[in-house]
Structure 1
Amino acid sequence: MEVGSPLRIQVVSDGRAGIENQALGLAEAIQRLTPAEITIKRIRWRPLFDRLPVALKTPAMLDPTSDAPFPAPGEAWPDLWIATGRATLPLSLAARRLSGGQTFVVQTQDPRLNAARFDMVVAPAHDDLEGDNVFAITGSPHRVTTERIAEAVPAFADQIDPLPHPRVAVLIGGRSKAFDLSEGHAVEMADEIAEAVRAIGGSLMLTYSRRTPDAARAAMTERLKALPGLIWDGTGPNPLFAWLAAADHILVTEDSANMATEAASTGKPVHILPMVPLKPPGKFAALHADLEERGATRPFDGVLESWTYEPLTETDRAARAVLEAMGARG
């Protein structure tokens, strides 16, 4: 990096929003601290090679629709490479090697590889990852800040403004290795949400995850569509940031570390909705205990009470740590 020039940051992911936003959120937090230019690269592997071990993958195995992850001959390497997700691991390792030390390589999430193979790993504290170059944070990096979500409101103002307060944002996840959302459980959850919203005379702003099973989605929509409010059908621009800004309460299913930490960064009451466990909650229990201890979240008990707390700023804390580590390396 030349003295006085902006920091060149390359964000790398498989393009899924929940994955990309971790790396991009960290990059944007760094950009708030120092002049920087951010480039986004989205990659995917050809299906034949996708499940190969990290050590056997080469860039030649990438799908032709992928962005070129490395600079062309004669082009400069980025100063900072921030990547998230299993798909990026072979490329992060190669970038560190091929750049000859020009690029500082940061991986978010637990890479399930020796952390020393990266310059820095920003990992969720509930993963219990250890190492001299591991920086642990509550939850995952993300893009939610008070300013960013406020900027999203005008585009959805005509939908949001007529909604009565208190406004309740509901973020529904779905099936994962640890949790499920059966149709029966979705019906029970929807009835509890509806009763709570009616009790306060409020309105609903609901969004589903791509992991939400179709039967659960249909059951919840049927039970909740009569309430004043909005249920996003997945078409058009994503209203999530605007809804977080407009909400007086936020309800989040317990299966997503991303959604929980994003919600806890707003400073608004976050109520955690239980899911159907498929195995002991493990790291999710640790995360939710951490968020409860910080005063950000409480288990949803059918009552939409209010409270205050200091919003989480873990992504900003990680950004400062990355810049300090880069400075220490020189």
Structure 2
Amino acid sequence: MADVRVSDDASAPRVWVLLGEGAGGNAQMCALAEALGWPFETLQLRYNRLNHVPSALLGPSVRTVDRERSDPLTPPWPDLVIAASRRSAPVARWIKAQSGGHTRLVHLLHAQAPLHHFDLIVTLPQFRLPDAPNVLHNTLPLNVLDQARLERAAQRWRPRLADLPRPWIAVLVGGDSSSYRLDPATARKLAQQAVDVAERHSGSLLVTTSKRTRADAAQALWQAIRGPSYRYAWQADDADNPYPAFLALADRFIVTADSASLPAEACATGRPVELFDWQPRAQPTGWARGAQTALAQRIGRGLIYWGAVKPRRDFAAFHRGLVERGLVGSDSPRGRVPDDMGRTVARIRALMQTAVSPSAGDRRSRNDSPCSNHSS
């Protein structure tokens, strides 16, 4: 069922947030919607088998939507749609078509569709989108730490960790992804790096795995950890998960390099962050790495712009951005965390200056936050 955030500002634009099945994208969309400060409605979309058809071929379409399991897409149409990634791109374009072109489209991460169909694309280095007037390249995901939630978690967990010597070094462990494979051998290398850091600082390790951590990798990690530590094996729907407490309490961090959200949230604390990186499954080659002629590079960028290809994610580019800004490394932080959210909000507000809501008075209300279940 769709959720709605209300506002007393009758002139505010009507905003739809198209939630998908990816927790990371959902969290970023919700954080952005909250930061804009306008009323917004979240609509949960689920997809059928047609979602595997490339967005560039589908065009504006809802043929990929499982209507029975999704929130209804009905008028009045919004002034602004916030969506993320490939699956929602045809749906967002369909909504704009239904509105007669009135709806503005803000798309996060990538679309795998011609970029000129969107009013603003907010992306990150690993997606390798080309420069364009409607493409905003950020350094970090739009994750926002809920300070109240972190403080509540810190109050619960501080007494449980009190006997461990400081500094506390949080080890935030990801797992398998489209770009990385975290196997037992890699987990043992991670454990050794963490132990070395703890011994160098005479501190303790606060280790947590995640949903993507394989059982055999977690077992190898636990067996290789030495010295004072607290270890948490991820569990679904655990209200007492110590992850937010670790973010609040740790003096420094070691974060696996397989995702963007873990480094982003660690960097947002303003404390030292070290990346644990290892060989990806496969690395971008040819024009994707700029290794061929200028003509080949232009062709490659054109193919990405038109949604004809989906390039392999280049996490090395994402990591370089963190290093260049002084956000990661043994002596980090040497730079300030960029205000990517502020930049993004400013671009959207400028975009919406010409958008007038025809139905701003039609607002439904509810007491809780529509994105409360999608925060990090």
Same fold (TM over 0.5): yes
Q: Normalising by structure 1, what TM-score?
A: 0.83
Contact 2:18/2:42 (<8 A) preserved: yes
Alignment match of 2:321 (pick from 290, 295, 308): 290
* In structure 1, distance between residues paired with 2:72 and 2:223: 44
- Separation in 2 of the partners of 1:241 and 1:69? 34
Q: State which of 66, 70, 73 in structure 2 corresponds to 1:67.
A: 70
- Alignment partner, residue 26 of structure 2: 20
Provide the rounded CA distance (Å) in 2 between the counterparts of 1:139 and 1:306.
Answer: 16
Listed as ranges, the matches of 1:255-270 within 5 Å are 255-270=258-273
| Structure 2 Cα separation of the partners of residues 318 and 277 of structure 1 | 30
- Is residue 2:353 matched to residue 1:327? yes
Other structure's SS at 2:123 match: strand
Name which of 271, 292, 306 aligns with 2:274: 271
Q: Quote how far apart the aligned CAs of 1:239 are.
A: 4.1
Gaps of at least 5 residues in structure 2 are: 1-6, 290-313, 357-376
**Residue 309 of structure 1: aligned partner:** 335
5 Å matches for 1:1-330? 4-31=10-37, 36-46=38-48, 48-54=49-55, 55-56=57-58, 58-59=61-62, 61-63=64-66, 66-71=69-74, 75-126=75-126, 127-144=128-145, 148-163=146-161, 164=164, 165-224=166-225, 227-235=228-236, 236-237=238-239, 238-280=241-283, 283-298=314-329, 307-328=333-354
Structure 2 Cα separation of the partners of residues 215 and 93 of structure 1: 43
Matches of 1:199 and 1:26 in 2, distance apart?
39
How far apart in 1 are the matches of 2:282 and 2:251?
33
Deviation of 1:284 after TM superposition, in Å, equals 1.8
Preserved contact between residue 106 and residue 122 of structure 2 (Cα < 8 Å): yes
Secondary structure of 1:279 counterpart: coil
The separation in 1 between residues aligned to 2:10 and 2:50, in whole angstroms, is 42
8 Å CA contact retained: 1:12, 1:82: yes
Q: Distance in 2 between matches of 1:129 and 1:9?
A: 27
Asked if 2 retains the 8 angstrom alpha-carbon contact of 1:69 and 1:91, the reply is no
* Secondary structure, aligned partner of 2:186: helix
CA spacing shift, 1:115–1:270, aligned 2, 3 Å: same
* 3-state DSSP of counterpart to 2:14: strand
1: distance between equivalents of 2:266 and 2:72? Answer: 32
Question: CA, structure 1 residues 63+273, in 2 after alignment: closer, same or farther (shift >3 Å)?
Answer: same
Q: Which has the higher contact order (CA 8 A, sep 6+)?
A: 2
Partner of 1:301: none
Question: 2 CA distance for matches of 1:318 and 1:63?
Answer: 31
d(CA) in 2 for partners of 1:285 and 1:169?
23
Q: In proportion to residue count, which structure has more strand?
A: 1
Give me the whole-angstrom Cα distance separating, in 2, the residues matched to 1:14 and 1:26: 15
Taking a change above 3 Å as real, the CA distance of residues 227 and 80 of structure 1, as seen in their structure-2 partners, is farther
Which residue identity lines up with residue 228 of structure 1 in the other structure?
S
CA displacement at 1:328 relative to structure 2: 4.9
Task: State the TM-score, normalized to the length of structure 2.
Answer: 0.74
1:108 to 1:307, Cα distance in 2 relative to 1, 3 A: closer
Query: Quick one: structure 1 residues 295 and 69, their matched pair in 2 at CA, closer, same or farther if it must change by over 3 Å?
Result: farther
Cα gap change, 1:19 to 1:194, in 2 (>3 Å): same
Q: Secondary structure at the match of 1:234?
A: coil
Structure 1: runs of 5 or more not aligned: 299-303
Give me the whole-angstrom Cα distance separating, in 2, the residues matched to 1:319 and 1:218: 43
Instruction: Tell me, in whole angstroms, the C-alpha distance in 2 between the residues paired with 1:309 and 1:130.
Output: 25
CA distance 1:149–1:97, shift in 2 (3 Å):
same
Q: Comparing 187-196 with 238-247, which one deviates more in the overlay?
A: 238-247
Secondary structure at 1:49 match in 2: helix
- Tell me how large the CA RMSD over aligned residues is: 2.8
Against the structure 1 CA distance between its residues 76 and 297, is the aligned structure 2 distance closer, same or farther, given a 3 Å change threshold?
Answer: same
- The 2-side partners of 1:38 and 1:87 are apart by 21
Q: Which of the pair has more CA radius of gyration?
A: 2
Distance 1:131 1:233, change over 3 A: same
